[in-house]
């Protein structure tokens, strides 16, 4: 019987430790009070399971024998791992411990075994929620320094090589490039996207594909940008997974709020000014920029007719990120034009007006 109690004691400790690590990650890294509270509640449920074992904590403690535990040797430390991997490993540790508790408790208490099983499934649920939250944070961190976003396709650069345009924009400070190729055979678009994926990777900037979730997945793009009539965010997420960035075009405050609620990583807001790329969309003006800046928490890029002559007005309205097409693609000096836009943005970040 003592051996059985040693098994119970070891796995209660494993589950408790794993849940505590996950709880602290939820609290301090994810900043999610609800998740942290839910994980804390699981530790309390584990304590109730411990009390339900005949003899309770005192008998479990008496059965402990660290000196003869072959698993107590630390050996060589594993290489350091990131927060996500740490959370995942500790939640798996808690799940496995709960399963051992469940199977061991069947020998003396079906009720305790059932409680351990229910706890295991609760850990599965919170594992999904915490790891999804950590992935969301990682995606937002990739966007943290994104300020100038180039949107273009081959039709936007007549007489120019699109890859060369992207390289020049990146040299001037653009940190995101979106391929918007509306026409042509899918095979040809995939070929172009694969080339630009490599260009952006070498330049160290994010690569986003417009509309086409399938192409984004095929070329390992950093993400996809969706219109109002495209796949919903949750459907795109199922295809692309949790690591890919998903942006959404919005033309009203209601659309911006909905995109945030549905899990978009960022939104485009516009068209702020008349633009040939969106001739059928009414201009939303600076008022929508002001509203989104004050009411939406996820990153947003003002877009539509923005250029060096009006970018300061857009920034004064509350934008800190802008997306452009012709302001760069039509510029004689693409890198210089990008640099000038970046300088304007930086000035507003340092001395906002």
For 130-143, how does the pLDDT look when each residue is reduced to its tens digit (9 = 90+)? Answer: 999 999 999 999 99
pLDDT higher than 60, residue 105: yes
Which among 180, 197, 212, 321 is annotated as catalytic? 180
Please tell me whether residue 209 adopts helix, strand or coil conformation. strand
pLDDT value, residue 281? 85
Q: How many CB atoms lie within 10 A of CB 1?
A: 11
Reported as a single tens digit per residue, the pLDDT across 288-309 is 999 999 999 999 999 999 999 9
Domain with CATH 3.20.20.70 in the chain: 145-350
**C-alpha closest to that of 278 among 300, 304, 250:** 304
**C-alpha closest to that of 322 among 343, 340, 345:** 345
Q: Tell if the pTM clears 0.75, that is, is over it.
A: yes
CA atoms of 193 and 189, how far apart (whole Å): 6
Tokens of 194: 């694969």
CA atoms of 5 and 204, how far apart (whole Å): 55
Which among 93, 167, 249, 344 is annotated as catalytic? 249
Q: Is 249 a catalytic residue?
A: yes
Confidence of residue 350 (pLDDT cuts 50, 70, 90): low
| Contact of 196 with 166, CB cutoff 8 Å | yes
Q: What CATH class is the domain 2-67+81-140?
A: mainly alpha
- What is the number of alpha carbons within 13 Å of residue 349 lying toward its C-beta? 11
Q: Is 182 a catalytic residue?
A: no
Please tell me whether residue 263 adopts helix, strand or coil conformation. coil
pLDDT value, residue 77? 54
CA 181 to centroid of chain Cα atoms: 25
CA atoms of 206 and 299, how far apart (whole Å): 15
pLDDT value, residue 72? 59
pLDDT higher than 70, residue 220: yes
Average pLDDT over the chain, rounded to an integer: 94
CA atoms of 63 and 69, how far apart (whole Å): 12
| Contact of 219 with 179, CB cutoff 8 Å | no
Q: Is 278 a catalytic residue?
A: yes
pLDDT value, residue 76? 54
| CB neighbour list of residue 261: distance below 8 Å, 6 or more residues apart | none
Q: How many CB atoms lie within 10 A of CB 274?
A: 12
Confidence of residue 280 (pLDDT cuts 50, 70, 90): confident
pLDDT value, residue 353? 41
Q: How many CB atoms lie within 10 A of CB 132?
A: 13
**Cα dihedral across residues 165, 192, 176, 150: positive or negative:** positive
**Residues of the chain above pLDDT 70, percent:** 95
pLDDT value, residue 58? 79
Backbone angles phi, psi at 347, to 5 degrees: -60, -40
CA atoms of 241 and 254, how far apart (whole Å): 26
**Comparing 1-5, 19-23, 176-180, 185-189, which segment has the lowest mean pLDDT?**
1-5
**Superfamily (CATH H level) for 145-350:** Aldolase class I (3.20.20.70)
Domain with CATH 1.20.1260 in the chain: 2-67+81-140
Confidence of residue 196 (pLDDT cuts 50, 70, 90): very high
Task: Compute the average pLDDT of residues 317-331.
Answer: 98
Confidence of residue 1 (pLDDT cuts 50, 70, 90): confident
Which among 6, 99, 258, 278 is annotated as catalytic? 278
**C-alpha closest to that of 172 among 323, 350, 340, 2:** 340
pLDDT value, residue 349? 78
268 forms beta bridges with: 249, 301
């Amino acid at each position: 019987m003592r051996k059985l109690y040693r098994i119970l004691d070891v796995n209660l400790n494993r589950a408790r430790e794993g849940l505590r690590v996950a709880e602290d990650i939820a609290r301090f890294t994810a900043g999610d009070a609800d998740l942290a509270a839910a994980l804390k509640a699981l530790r309390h449920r584990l304590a109730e399971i411990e009390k339900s074992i005949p003899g309770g904590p005192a008998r479990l403690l008496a059965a402990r024998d660290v000196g003869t535990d072959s698993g107590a040797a630390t050996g060589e430390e594993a290489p350091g791992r990131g927060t996500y991997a740490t959370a995942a490993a500790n939640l798996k540790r808690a799940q496995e411990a709960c399963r051992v508790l469940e199977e061991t408790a069947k020998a003396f208490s079906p009720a305790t075994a059932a409680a351990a099983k229910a706890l295991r499934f609760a850990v599965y649920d919170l594992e999904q929620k915490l790891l999804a939250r950590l992935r969301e944070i990682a995606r937002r961190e990739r966007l943290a320094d994104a300020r100038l976003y180039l949107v273009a396709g081959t039709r936007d650069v007549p007489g120019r090589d699109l890859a060369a345009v992207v390289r020049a924009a990146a040299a001037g400070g653009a940190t995101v490039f979106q391929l918007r190729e509306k026409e042509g055979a899918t095979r040809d678009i995939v070929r172009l996207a694969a080339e630009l994926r490599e260009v952006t990777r070498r330049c160290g900037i994010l690569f986003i594909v417009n509309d086409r979730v399938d192409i984004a997945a095929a070329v390992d793009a950093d993400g996809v940008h969706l219109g109002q009539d495209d796949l919903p965010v949750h459907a795109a997420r199922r295809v692309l997974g949790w690591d890919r960035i998903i942006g959404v075009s919005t033309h009203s405050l209601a659309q911006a709020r909905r995109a945030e609620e549905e899990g978009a990583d960022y939104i485009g807001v516009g068209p702020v000014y008349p633009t040939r790329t969106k001739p059928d969309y009414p201009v939303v003006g600076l008022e929508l920029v002001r509203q989104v800046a004050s009411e939406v928490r996820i990153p947003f890029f003002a877009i539509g007719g923005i250029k060096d002559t009006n970018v300061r007005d857009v920034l004064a309205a509350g934008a800190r990120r802008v997306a452009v097409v012709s302001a760069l693609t039509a510029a004689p000096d693409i890198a210089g034009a990008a640099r000038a836009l970046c300088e304007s943005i930086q000035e507003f970040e340092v001395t906002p007006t």
